[in-house]
């Protein structure tokens, strides 16, 4: 990762973190979360220029969850997984953010280069319900997942052909709200 890119990502993340702390104190439980992914969060750390951003939004009654995965400078992605870090130390895949059943019709952008395929932009955009949860969360409700996200027990890893154990990772979601207004809050005429 270039130093300039790292400074920009870190600055944005810091502002969102400070803002989210204010919002949590004022509004209580939030329904929107963001996470920055990088090689230095992977264990052991990976030297890569790849970066990513994952966002989650639970609906008001926590029966549905939509997500968006954006990646840059990464090649041959084989999986983007939401993991649960259990109290006994086991990390288990609970959602595959590339292959869920309720996918959006929005396509992701892949740019061909002279070599391996480099993925840039939105690579995963979809929605899930409690029926999509896997592993130890199978049969649980989305409010249970929501609590695990709030408690910092969920993380994301992007696996690639060159790094089958993960090239980039995000270790904790940041709760945010009202950074962007909803579409229905604009007068479109």
Q: What is the pLDDT of residues 20-61, one digit of tens each?
A: 443 343 334 578 899 999 999 998 999 999 999 999 999 888
What values do phi and psi take at 158, rounded to 5?
-105, 120
**Pair 147, 159: CB distance under 8 Å:** no
Using the predicted structure, report yes or no on whether residue 14 has a pLDDT greater than 50.
no
What's the rounded Cα separation, in Å, for the pair 18 and 188? 31
Q: Which is higher by pLDDT, 82 or 174?
A: 82
Q: What integer is the mean pLDDT of 86-108?
A: 72
**Pair 137, 168: CB distance under 8 Å:** no
**Pair 128, 102: CB distance under 8 Å:** yes
Using the predicted structure, report yes or no on whether residue 13 has a pLDDT greater than 60.
no
Residue 144: half-sphere exposure toward Cβ, Cα within 13 Å: 13
**Pair 49, 75: CB distance under 8 Å:** no
pLDDT of residue 106: 47
pLDDT of residue 113: 39
> Within the chain, how many helices (H) and strands (E) appear?
2, 11
Q: Evaluate if pTM is beyond 0.85.
A: no
Question: CB neighbours of 170 closer than 8 A, spacing ≥ 6?
Answer: 35, 36, 37, 38, 41, 52, 54, 155, 156
Strand partners, 168: 158
């Amino acid at each position: 990762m270039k130093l300039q890119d790292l400074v920009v990502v870190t600055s944005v993340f810091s502002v969102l973190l400070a803002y989210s702390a204010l919002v949590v104190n004022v509004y209580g439980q939030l329904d929107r979360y963001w996470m920055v992914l990088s090689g230095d969060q992977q264990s052991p750390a990976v030297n890569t220029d790849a970066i990513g951003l994952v966002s989650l939004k639970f609906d008001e009654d926590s029966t549905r969850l939509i997500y968006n995965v954006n990646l840059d400078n990464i090649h041959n992605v084989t999986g983007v997984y939401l993991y649960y870090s259990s109290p006994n130390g086991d990390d288990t895949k609970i959602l595959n953010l590339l292959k869920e059943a309720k996918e959006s019709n929005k396509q992701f952008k892949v740019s061909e280069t002279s070599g391996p395929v480099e993925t840039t932009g939105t690579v995963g955009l979809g929605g899930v319900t409690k029926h999509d949860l896997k592993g130890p969360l199978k049969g649980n409700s989305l409010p249970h997942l929501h609590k695990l996200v709030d408690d910092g027990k969920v993380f994301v890893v992007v696996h690639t052909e060159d790094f089958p154990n993960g090239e980039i990772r995000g270790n904790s979601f940041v709760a945010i709200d009202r950074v962007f207004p909803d579409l229905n809050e604009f007068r479109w005429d």
